[in-house]
Amino acid sequence: MSELLDPMHRRVLEQLGVAPGVRTLEVGCGNGSVSAWLAGKVAPAGRAVAVDLDLSLAAADVPGLQLRQADILAGPVHPTDFDIVTGRAVLHHLPDPGAAVRNMIASARPGGAILLIEPDFLPATVAEPAEVREFWDGWLAWSRDEHIDYFIGRRLAPMLSGLGLAEIAATAETAWYNGGSAWAEYWRLTVAELRPRLTDSGKLTGRVIDAFLRRCADPAWWTQAVAFTVVHGRTPDR
Ligand SMILES: C[S@@+](CC[C@H](N)C(=O)[O-])C[C@H]1O[C@@H](n2cnc3c(N)ncnc32)[C@H](O)[C@@H]1O
């Protein structure tokens, strides 16, 4: 996921003013690849903090990077003067994404930037051919039972607007990919890992999963699945 999404994430962070001296916070950093890059960009006078519930995947020895174990649902991250606060692929898993976004906003300085990147599975709902659509229909039914919001992308801009942010801008980036590509491999690995849970849920059968995996190996099959929704805004003056 880092290889697939970091280039876009870095591009938007640069547009928002990442430079030496800037103070950045990443929420739900996972393996920390974005924050490791941020630490290099803001050095030496800046600060790059990365928080996650589980830091076991993050490299601990990156110069200038502060890793902290924290739950963004529990409160803001201190000190609450970050110039840029970002989170990618975190909110759709949370029981209360609004609380997380409020805590991200409260972690930023007045006029600081908030950058959210989350999925919206709109393209999957019209995927072709029918057997692929059948897979995504089952996948999305399973995710609803798991309380994962794969359509949160469309809710981000209204959420930031409702929380009083200014200069809100939103885009979505959707990869077109074919079987055998890096995205197809991402889905092959993800589905292989989740296969027992998917079939046990009754939402997907082995037949439907196998048909999807055959497509993922077919270079002649081109598709799109996820619109990664990129939304940013500026916090109000307090
Ligand atoms: C799907 S991963 C995304 C990782 C990374 N941002 C990326 O896009 O590659 C979601 C991450 O959010 C973290 N996470 C989930 N709930 C969290 C919470 N309440 N507070 C902080 N991190 C959380 C998980 O531990 C996981 O590392």
Task: Inform me whether the pLDDT recorded for 237 exceeds 90.
Answer: no
- Which pLDDT tens digit goes with each residue over 191-201? 999 999 999 99
* Gyration radius of the chain's alpha carbons: 19
DSSP label at 76?
P
Q: Which atom of ligand 1 is nearest to the CA of 2?
A: 9
Domain limits for position 97: 2-234
Report helix, strand or coil for 55: coil
Is the previous residue joined to 196 through a cis bond, with omega within 30 degrees of 0?
A: no
- Of 83, 111, 118, 81, which Cα lies nearest the Cα of 97? 118
HSE (side-chain half, CA atoms, 13 Å) at 68: 16
Q: Which atom of ligand 1 is nearest to the CA of 57?
A: 27
Q: Report how far ligand 1's centroid is from the alpha carbon of 198 (Å).
A: 21
Task: Inform me whether the pLDDT recorded for 226 exceeds 80.
Answer: yes
Q: Which atom of ligand 1 is nearest to the CA of 94?
A: 16
- Which pLDDT tens digit goes with each residue over 38-84? 999 999 999 999 999 999 999 888 999 999 999 999 999 999 999 99
Residue 42 belongs to domain with CATH number = 3.40.50.150
Mean pLDDT of the chain: 97
Phi, psi of 69 (to 5 degrees): -80, 120
Alpha carbons 71 and 117: distance in angstroms, whole number: 18
- Which pLDDT tens digit goes with each residue over 107-154? 999 999 999 999 999 999 999 999 999 999 999 999 999 999 999 999
Task: Inform me whether the pLDDT recorded for 161 exceeds 90.
Answer: yes
pLDDT value, residue 83: 98
Nearest CA to ligand 1 atom 3: 89
Give how many domains the chain has, as a whole number.
Answer: 1
What is the mean pLDDT of the segment spanning 143-170? Answer: 98
Nearest CA to ligand 1 atom 12: 28
- The identity of residue 66, as a single letter, is Q
Q: Given CA atoms 188, 174, 230, 14 in this order, what sign does their dihedral have?
A: positive
CB 51 within 8 A of CB 27: yes
Task: Inform me whether the pLDDT recorded for 238 exceeds 80.
Answer: no
In 20-63, alpha helices (H): 33-42
- Residue found by looking up tokens 């055959």 in the block: 214
Q: Report how far ligand 1's centroid is from the alpha carbon of 29 (Å).
A: 6
Nearest CA to ligand 1 atom 19: 71
Residues lining ligand 1, CB < 6 A? 1-2, 5, 27-30, 51-54, 71-73, 88-90, 93-94
